[in-house]
Amino acid sequence: MEDDGDRPTWLIEPLGRHHDRAAFSCAKPALDRYLKSQAGQDARRHIAAPFVLVGTPGGKTVLGYYTLSAVGIELGDLPQDVAKKLPRYPIVPATLLGRLAVDRRYRGQGFGEILLMDALHRSFTQSSEIAAAAVLVDAMDEDAWRFYRHFDFIPFPERRDRLFLPMKTVERLFK
């Protein structure tokens, strides 16, 4: 979705009432259902912050979305080589990338990576005001797991579906 000047004609913004959530379908019922019926409530209750990728500034069509929220990681759950570099607090703050999905009509255009990079950048930017040592994801299936591993997320030793990216790694992406 590029215009004649090779500038993006899409925008990532907080989920709003004007966004058409009903038409969104990523072919994963749990992710579709979340956007359609739960995301707005989570935003209003400050449980999660949903962000949507729209086709044009002010657009209504949701091409994809992700959510961010705060989470704590038990220090002992992290790989030993990572844990030894952190303070000995029992719980380490992190940012949870709770959901990430692209509408099936827009797959293959790099929007998953764009959404992920925006989520990581947003997480890094906020980490100076609301501390977070890492970005955490829970991969819902093998496709999601491979997607996050492609971007160097590290699996937890005891939970293969849970992965993280240290904030120091995220920082290097944007410096």
In this structure, is the dihedral angle defined by the CA atoms of residues 122, 126, 127 and 130, taken in order, positive or negative? negative
Q: Which of 34, 65, 66, 148 is catalytic?
A: 148
* Domains in the chain, CATH or no CATH each: 11-173 (3.40.630.30)
Amino acid identity, position 21: R
pLDDT of residue 76: 86
Specify the pLDDT at position 114: 97
Per-residue pLDDT of the chain (175 residues; tens, 9 = 90+): 444 456 668 999 999 999 999 999 999 999 999 999 999 999 999 999 999 999 877 789 999 999 999 999 998 888 888 888 888 888 999 999 999 999 999 999 999 999 999 999 999 999 999 999 999 999 999 999 999 999 999 999 889 899 999 999 999 999 8
Q: What is the pLDDT of residue 87?
A: 83
- The number of angstroms, rounded, from the C-alpha of 62 to the middle of its chain's C-alpha atoms is 15
- pLDDT for the residue numbered 4: 47
As given in the structure block, the two tokens for residue 159 are: 């939970």
Q: What local confidence, expressed as pLDDT, does residue 54 receive?
A: 95
148 is catalytic: yes
Residues ≥6 apart with Cβ < 8 Å to 36 = 21, 22, 24
